[in-house]
């Protein structure tokens, strides 16, 4: 089916970390209507198998496309992008633009010829998928690469520990790992890490380049919508933020990830299926 410019953009994540991406998209594309889905019932994705994440991602994508009639899908989660992007793209057969958060970062990193050694920090599933490493190696084999799984970080941030002593100690412990010695750029390969960007910058005395999935992804999406003739000119409806399980903690943390107060709505996608 042909999409129209006035349809919404569907954005999904394992939980609320992808709100950092949604916020960047709303800043760069304020005229677009966004429908966000955070799969809080199944988070974290970061230590789940690829097959399980693929099944979650397909169900959520079908919901956004079939029920919410979205014109494009943004996988606002590195882990889901690593595990399920190619699968979703193949199932969709090019009918809808599907954007992941990994390719735009890879493009930005390889375009920068001042970088000689790049590091990646991300969930276990993302690091072990080897997807960043493969994509960079294929397009720029001369670029040295190292990767470190940092599984505590997403949970720590989600619990509200950032810009404090606890987050400093955990970040120091990870970033002092010898594997990261000598890097001149670091990929923040998890949507949560946007909240500790300043702390990471401080660790490196602002001496290395940091790449995250906010502006880079929003601008990539903008370019794709432009090319497809799908850029909206005027937003009719408010943005909607669904999550698949509601707790007080999610409500409180949403503001911290999105940067301003938003109303989360519970949508029991999994109960509906069972
Ligand atoms: N937001 C996810 C990502 O970007 C990490 C959180 C999770 O493990 O679900 O990889």
d(CA 242, CA 268): 9
Largest CA-CA distance found in the chain, in angstroms, rounded: 52
Question: Does residue 273 carry a pLDDT above 60?
Answer: no
* Same domain for 84 and 68: yes
Say if ligand 1 is within 6 A of residue 44 CB.
Answer: yes
d(CA 82, CA 104): 13
Say if ligand 1 is within 6 A of residue 15 CB.
Answer: yes
Summarised one tens digit per residue, pLDDT across range 36-82 is: 999 999 999 988 999 999 999 999 999 999 999 999 999 999 999 99
* Same domain for 122 and 87: no
Mean pLDDT of the chain: 95
Q: Is 190 a catalytic residue?
A: yes
d(CA 245, CA 265): 9
Mean pLDDT lowest for which of 158-167, 169-178, 199-208?
Answer: 158-167
* Same domain for 151 and 59: no
List the one residue out of 268, 270, 267, 239 whose CA is nearest residue 19. Answer: 239
pTM over 0.75? The answer is: yes
Locate 111 and state its tokens.
């375009």
List the one residue out of 195, 236, 198, 191 whose CA is nearest residue 216. Answer: 191
* Same domain for 266 and 223: yes
Summarised one tens digit per residue, pLDDT across range 180-205 is: 999 999 999 999 999 999 999 999 99
Residue 3 belongs to a domain: no
Choosing from 159, 179, 211, the residue where a domain stops is 211
Please give the number of the atom of ligand 1 that sits closest to the Cα of 101: 4
Summarised one tens digit per residue, pLDDT across range 17-28 is: 999 999 999 999
Q: Cβ distance 148 to 180 under 8 Å? A: yes
Say if ligand 1 is within 6 A of residue 17 CB.
Answer: yes
Q: How far is the CA of 4 from the centre of ligand 1 (A)?
A: 30
Domain that holds residue 206: 103-211
Please give the number of the atom of ligand 1 that sits closest to the Cα of 43: 9
């Amino acid at each position: 089916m042909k999409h129209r410019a006035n349809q919404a953009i569907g954005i999904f994540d394992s939980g609320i970390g992808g709100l950092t991406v949604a916020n960047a998209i709303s800043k760069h594309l304020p005229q677009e209507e966004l429908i966000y889905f955070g799969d809080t019932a199944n988070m974290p994705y970061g230590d789940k198998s690829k097959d399980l994440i693929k099944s979650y991602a397909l169900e959520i994508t079908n919901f956004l496309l079939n029920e919410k009639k979205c014109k494009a899908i943004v996988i606002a989660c590195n882990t889901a992008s690593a595990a399920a992007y190619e699968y979703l793209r193949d199932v969709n057969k090019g009918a809808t633009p599907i954007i992941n958060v990994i390719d735009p970062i890879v493009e930005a990193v390889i375009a920068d010829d001042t970088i000689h050694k790049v590091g990646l920090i991300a969930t276990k599933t993302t690091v072990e998928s080897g997807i960043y490493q493969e994509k960079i190696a294929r397009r720029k084999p001369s670029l040295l690469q190292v990767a470190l799984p940092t599984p505590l970080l997403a949970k720590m941030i989600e619990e509200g520990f950032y810009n404090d002593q606890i987050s400093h100690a955990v970040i120091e412990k990870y970033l002092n790992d010898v594997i990261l010695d000598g890097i001149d750029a670091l990929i923040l390969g998890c949507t949560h890490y946007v909240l500790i960007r300043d702390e990471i910058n401080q660790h490196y005395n602002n001496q290395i380049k940091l790449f995250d999935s906010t502006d880079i992804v929003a601008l990539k999406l903008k370019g794709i919508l432009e090319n497809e003739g799908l850029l909206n000119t005027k937003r009719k409806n408010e943005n909607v933020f669904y999550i698949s399980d509601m707790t007080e903690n999610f409500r409180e943390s949403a503001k911290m990830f999105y940067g301003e107060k938003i109303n989360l709505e519970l949508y029991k996608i999994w109960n509906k299926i069972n």
